[in-house]
Amino acid sequence: MTRTEIIMGMPITLAIPDREAMDRPGALLPTLEDAAEAVFQGFRDVDERFSPYKEHSETSRINRGELDPQEASREMREVLVLAEQTRAQTDGFFNVRHKGRFDPSGLVKGWAIWRAAQILDNDGFLSFCIEAGGDIEVRGANDQGEPWVIGIRSPFDPSLMIRRLRLPTCGIATSGTYIRGEHIWNPRTGTAANEIASLTVIGPNVYEADRFATAAFAMGRRGIEFLAGQQGLEGYMVDSSATATYTPGFARYLAA
């Protein structure tokens, strides 16, 4: 079963092998459809609570001084703690406060996917993928009972992939941009040469992968070195000259 919805301004896809409907002792557990609905509702709730673009979100209320973060919801307080942790672990490259405003967006996407995975975990699902805006929590095995096959999108052409990976249970996230300031950069003429086009991170789960992809991307070329020095994280960086640089441990995920 595969289902996609647009929530938080991005496509969110849930893929569950059909065998999961049979493999689980069904009587007491939700159906695939019910579980999927719970997952998507979780994303809608996160959007309502955390979006800096929704007037009544907790994020907006904190920014207007109407809500003391200490009195915010349990979810918001959890994200605030995680944000502070991430800031410390990334030498300040990851900061939910900038220019005097609070914006947890860089952390919330990965966290929301990870939470959605926990919903399925609790319902006894062993194999699934949850993808939101290109970041994926990967669990178990695909429809064929083999490791999930995940492509890395080309930063030069969104219709193409530059690599194909076979992934065990893990999280994968890609940070990147096609647009820099006022120009669209040109890999062929070398405009903005050596700029990082995209950075893919594989970690123990999508929350870890996403926050370190965001932070390491902001570090520029040093990001890949930073990742190489982190336990449990592997990175694949593509620069504007179409050269990929990856951590040695990333090689084990590369499919021919």
Partner 1 sequence: MKSRIRRRIAAAAAASALGLAVSASASAQARTVNVSAASGTFTGSRQYAYYGYVKVQVVLASGAVSGIRIMEYPNDNGRSHYINSVALPYLVQETVGGSTWKVDLVSGATFTSMAYVKSLQAALKQAGL
The residue count for binding partner 1 (CB under 8 A) is 82
Of the residues 9, 25, 65, 100, which one makes contact with partner 1 according to CB under 8 A: 9
Beta pairing class for 128-132 and 161-167: unpaired
Distance, CA of 78 to chain centre: 18
- Does position 139 interact with partner 1 (CB under 8 A)? The reply is no
In the bound state with partner 1, the residue whose beta carbon lies nearer, of 56 and 164, is 164
Q: Which residues contact 176 (CB under 8 A, 6 or more apart)?
A: 155, 196, 197, 198, 199, 217, 238
- Does position 10 interact with partner 1 (CB under 8 A)? The reply is yes
Task: Determine phi and psi for 249, rounding to 5 degrees.
Answer: -70, -15
What residues numbered 185-204 form the site for partner 1, per CB under 8 A?
A: 185-189, 198, 200
Query: What sign does the dihedral 247-249-250-251 (CA atoms) show?
Result: positive
Of the residues 34, 41, 53, 193, which one makes contact with partner 1 according to CB under 8 A: 53
Q: Which residues contact 126 (CB under 8 A, 6 or more apart)?
A: 20, 23, 139, 140
Minimum gap (Å) between residue 212 Cβ and partner 1: 13
The answer to whether 160 and 197 have CB atoms below 8 angstroms apart is no
Question: Taking contact as CB under 8 A, which single stretch among the options 26-34, 55-63, 70-78, 141-149 is the one that binds partner 1?
Answer: 141-149
Letters for 106-125 (x = contact with partner 1 by CB under 8 A, - = none) are x--x----------------
| Pairwise CA distance, residues 115 & 118, whole Å | 5
Question: Taking contact as CB under 8 A, which single stretch among the options 36-44, 55-63, 73-81, 151-159 is the one that binds partner 1?
Answer: 151-159
| Pairwise CA distance, residues 256 & 238, whole Å | 18
In the bound state with partner 1, the residue whose beta carbon lies nearer, of 26 and 168, is 168
Question: Taking contact as CB under 8 A, which single stretch among the options 29-37, 58-66, 69-77, 153-161 is the one that binds partner 1?
Answer: 153-161
Of the residues 32, 62, 150, 233, which one makes contact with partner 1 according to CB under 8 A: 150
Distance, CA of 97 to chain centre: 20
Distance separating the N- and C-terminal Cα atoms of the chain: 27
Of the residues 104, 134, 170, 208, which one makes contact with partner 1 according to CB under 8 A: 134
- Does position 29 interact with partner 1 (CB under 8 A)? The reply is no
- Does position 74 interact with partner 1 (CB under 8 A)? The reply is no
- Does position 13 interact with partner 1 (CB under 8 A)? The reply is yes
Q: Please, which residues bridge with residue 202 across strands? A: 172, 234
- Does position 219 interact with partner 1 (CB under 8 A)? The reply is yes
- Does position 156 interact with partner 1 (CB under 8 A)? The reply is yes
Length of the chain: 256
- Does position 102 interact with partner 1 (CB under 8 A)? The reply is no
| Pairwise CA distance, residues 95 & 18, whole Å | 40
- Does position 126 interact with partner 1 (CB under 8 A)? The reply is no
